[in-house]
Amino acid sequence: MTQTPSSTSTTIAAGAPSTDGPQIPKGTGVLAVAGNILVRDGEPHQIISGAVHYFRIPRPLWRDRLQRLAAMGCSTVETYVAWNFHQPHRDSRPDFSGDRDLGAFLDAAAGLDLDVIVRPGPYICAEWDFGGLPSWLLDDPQASAALRTSDPAYLDHVDAWFDHLVPIIARRQASRGGRVVAVQVENEYGSYGNDRHYLEHLRDGLLERGIDVPLFTSDGPGQLWLQGGTLDDCLATVNFGSRQQEAFAALEAFRPGQPGICMEFWNGWFDHWGAGHTTRDPEDAAAELAGMLADGRSVNFYLAHGGTNFGVWAGANTGEPGPNGPAYLPTVTSYDYDAPIGEDGRLTPKFWAFRDVIAAHTSRRPPEPPADPPRLAAAVITIDRSIPLASVLDHQPVTVSPTPQSFEALGLHHGVVRYRTRVHGPFESAALHLDGLADLASVSVNQTTSARVGRTTVDPAYAEGCTVTLAEDNVLDLTVHSLGRVNFGPRLRDPKGLSAVRLEFQHLFGWEQSALDLTELPHLDWSGPQADQDQQAFHRGAIMIDEPADGYLDLTGWHHGYVFLNGFNLGRYWPAAGPQRTLYAPAPLWRQGRNDLVLLELVAAGTTVALVDRPVLG
């Protein structure tokens, strides 16, 4: 391969359009493996890296977050690539513009003198919807049955995606004068499967598309994980939160004589709706870090900065099976993760503890961090107009089918589908079974809500099953709303909507489906009828702001739904389940002057929304 290094160093700041690179003169930063050590430019090298996901941060804030990472003492940033964020619909070309401009993010890191590790998946886990896989894979029965295997039904889609993605990374490699120093193959594959051909195909796909920096895999520190997830000619790395010496001993036993790299040092953790808020003692995490560095290990903080699961992007996990199948555990909107750099960029005690450990170990004084971001003053936003969700759904196109269709079959990524059918009665009380419900349903008979049914028990407003009382002629509406797709474990296939509906033992056929995608704010006609507070509805309010700054919307008094700020989906709120009570509304989303707020409330609305000056994560 030939390359022409640029002779001048150009810094591309976050916010500028990405170019074709390279941005940094050649001759710096090529990473290699030499026996059991890493070398960079021929010198022994220890990676001190932190994960920062561009897809969880508005682009105007990328540079700020990377500066904070450098100020902690990291010389490398690591990011995943979330396929579904770039290609949410099958027939659209992958989008690499705006907040999705991966090249600009890599260039911003280079501009701050950071090395970059890229983990392009295609599966990334990461508490991200479907682990980064596009939901439309589930609409193809063969691809859906073959996820994360060497079956072409799945792999052909990956290859087409890699044709778009890999060149963006390849042209920014250290070997070509950029700063990408290493690339991961898949993600913790040993936690899922053992299809060696699949991993080999991904490795070869990276090589054939020009990746020539070291390739690695990352897995749990144990025999089954490592034997399933590693490749002989790729570095094996391990992921853990504590007991680092045991973890590296397991790696050494499996793969003797290679450098010890912790690709995910879990110094915090994420939260599920309906559970407590997780934190980790900074001193405990710092002691673990100090041990690793003293032992000569390389480390990547998972995470240095978590950011936010804006919009519909939070994933979910599954728990132990109960009487109704395995528990479903949706992940909250904040991805603060109790990371050293908070969700809003604030520097935490963990940041300063890590900074001290790194500075003592490297004898280098890191750059000073940017000042704390300013915050908006507290205020109250009053709702001035509410329109029923049902009337918005009335204006959507209708898909008619004998059996209820999944969201994916309807071409919907995430949102709400109203499944409508007609049933004859009368019946005093008949059991209604919502098979495959994912995830929350509001049941109404002749326009009157009669029950709420949920796949998860985190909110008492949703029951596990229901009965209905039917008159002679009935219109039965099941308004189903999706939560995140499972992102980890054996039950990765998580289609949304319904697979079947039964009245007692009898299947109900003949459905009219009206869908509303909530990835972005849908078009709304506010001139419709006024909604009641306990109706599923869109609500509107506005606030004047003098100077945009970070804000936090406190949803106390509301039940469950989404908030859109100036058209941008800030994510799901669910104070009825907790632990998170406020949604982060970062400065770049506010405007000087009038700011519009729209909420979709799915159970019972409040009358005002509080803008508060600090986050409440539980």
Stretch that binds ligand GLA, among 124-132, 396-404, 476-484, 500-508 (CB under 6 A): 124-132
DSSP 46-106: --EEEEE-GGGS-GGGHHHHHHHHHHHT-SEEEEE--HHHH-SSTTSPPP-SGGG-HHHHH
To ligand GLA, the closest distance from the beta carbon of 315 in angstroms equals 8
Stretch that binds ligand GLA, among 118-126, 199-207, 390-398, 521-529 (CB under 6 A): 118-126
Stretch that binds ligand GLA, among 125-133, 174-182, 319-327, 593-601 (CB under 6 A): 125-133
Using rule CB under 6 A, residue 129 touches ligand GLA: no
To ligand GLA, the closest distance from the beta carbon of 586 in angstroms equals 22
To ligand GLA, the closest distance from the beta carbon of 72 in angstroms equals 19
- Cβ-in-10-Å burial (0-12, 13-18, 19+) of 363 comes to exposed
Using rule CB under 6 A, residue 217 touches ligand GLA: no
Catalytic, out of 127, 186, 188, 343? 188
Using rule CB under 6 A, residue 127 touches ligand GLA: yes
Nearest to 354 by CA among 16, 14, 142, 68: 68
Question: Of the two residues 83 and 407, which places its CB atom closer to ligand GLA in the complex?
Answer: 83
Using rule CB under 6 A, residue 317 touches ligand GLA: no
Query: What's the angle, vertex CA 532, arms to CA 531 and CA 536, rounded to 5?
Result: 70
In which element (H, E) is residue 542 found?
A: strand 537-545
59 C-beta neighbours (distance < 10 Å), count: 18
To ligand GLA, the closest distance from the beta carbon of 278 in angstroms equals 10
Question: Of the two residues 285 and 516, which places its CB atom closer to ligand GLA in the complex?
Answer: 285
**CA–CA separation, 50 vs 447, rounded Å?**
52
To ligand GLA, the closest distance from the beta carbon of 232 in angstroms equals 21
Using rule CB under 6 A, residue 271 touches ligand GLA: no
Catalytic, out of 78, 186, 264, 288? 264
To ligand GLA, the closest distance from the beta carbon of 39 in angstroms equals 26
Reply yes or no: is the peptide bond before residue 122 cis, omega within 30 of 0.
yes
To ligand GLA, the closest distance from the beta carbon of 425 in angstroms equals 48
To ligand GLA, the closest distance from the beta carbon of 218 in angstroms equals 7
Using rule CB under 6 A, residue 126 touches ligand GLA: yes
- DSSP SS3 for 441: strand
- Does residue 188 have an active-site annotation? yes
By the 8 A CB rule, do 443 and 450 touch?
yes
The structure tokens listed for 258 are 């290679």
- Site size for ligand GLA, by CB under 6 A? 10
Nearest to 35 by CA among 221, 255, 264, 265: 255
Question: Of the two residues 266 and 568, which places its CB atom closer to ligand GLA in the complex?
Answer: 266
**CA–CA separation, 43 vs 238, rounded Å?**
23
Question: Of the two residues 479 and 487, which places its CB atom closer to ligand GLA in the complex?
Answer: 487
The structure tokens listed for 280 are 């980790």
Beta bridge partners of 451: 443
Q: Among 55, 248, 265, 270, which residue sits at the site for ligand GLA (rule: CB under 6 A)?
A: 270
Q: Among 49, 187, 217, 421, which residue sits at the site for ligand GLA (rule: CB under 6 A)?
A: 187
**CA–CA separation, 468 vs 453, rounded Å?**
12
To ligand GLA, the closest distance from the beta carbon of 203 in angstroms equals 18
The residue behind tokens 């520190």 is 221
Nearest to 603 by CA among 392, 462, 465: 462
Question: Of the two residues 55 and 511, which places its CB atom closer to ligand GLA in the complex?
Answer: 55
Using rule CB under 6 A, residue 336 touches ligand GLA: no
Order of strands, edge to edge, in the sheet holding 593-601?
568-573, 561-565, 593-601, 537-545, 379-388, 608-612, 551-554, 582-585
Interstrand relation of 48-52 and 76-80 (parallel, antiparallel or unpaired): parallel
Question: Of the two residues 139 and 188, which places its CB atom closer to ligand GLA in the complex?
Answer: 188
Stretch that binds ligand GLA, among 119-127, 132-140, 177-185, 342-350 (CB under 6 A): 119-127
Using rule CB under 6 A, residue 341 touches ligand GLA: no
Q: Among 49, 175, 239, 536, which residue sits at the site for ligand GLA (rule: CB under 6 A)?
A: 239
**CA–CA separation, 65 vs 398, rounded Å?**
44
Single-letter residue type at 254 = F
Looking at residue 603, what DSSP letter applies?
A: S
Using rule CB under 6 A, residue 125 touches ligand GLA: yes
To ligand GLA, the closest distance from the beta carbon of 150 in angstroms equals 21
Q: Is the dihedral of CA 372, 373, 374, 378 positive or negative?
A: negative
To ligand GLA, the closest distance from the beta carbon of 560 in angstroms equals 24
Single-letter residue type at 5 = P
The structure tokens listed for 164 are 């778009």
Beta bridge partners of 565: 568, 597
**CA–CA separation, 181 vs 110, rounded Å?**
11
Q: What is the CA radius of gyration of the chain?
A: 25
Question: Of the two residues 74 and 125, which places its CB atom closer to ligand GLA in the complex?
Answer: 125
Integer CA distances (angstroms), 507 to 285, 334, 459, 473, in order: 54, 40, 28, 17
Using rule CB under 6 A, residue 236 touches ligand GLA: no
By the 8 A CB rule, do 433 and 251 touch?
no
Single-letter residue type at 526 = W
Question: Of the two residues 290 and 303, which places its CB atom closer to ligand GLA in the complex?
Answer: 303
Using rule CB under 6 A, residue 437 touches ligand GLA: no
Using rule CB under 6 A, residue 46 touches ligand GLA: no
Question: Of the two residues 117 and 440, which places its CB atom closer to ligand GLA in the complex?
Answer: 117
Question: Of the two residues 337 and 552, which places its CB atom closer to ligand GLA in the complex?
Answer: 337
Using rule CB under 6 A, residue 264 touches ligand GLA: yes
Binding residues among 540-599 for ligand GLA as defined by CB under 6 A = none
Q: In this chain, which residue has its C-beta nearest to ligand GLA? A: 125
Contact letters for ligand GLA, residues 346-375 (x by CB under 6 A): ------------------------------
Question: Of the two residues 125 and 476, which places its CB atom closer to ligand GLA in the complex?
Answer: 125
Contact letters for ligand GLA, residues 487-526 (x by CB under 6 A): -x--------------------------------------
- 173 Cα distance to chain centroid: 25
Looking at the annotation, which residues are catalytic?
188, 264
- Residues binding ligand GLA (CB under 6 A): 124-127, 187-188, 239, 264, 270, 488
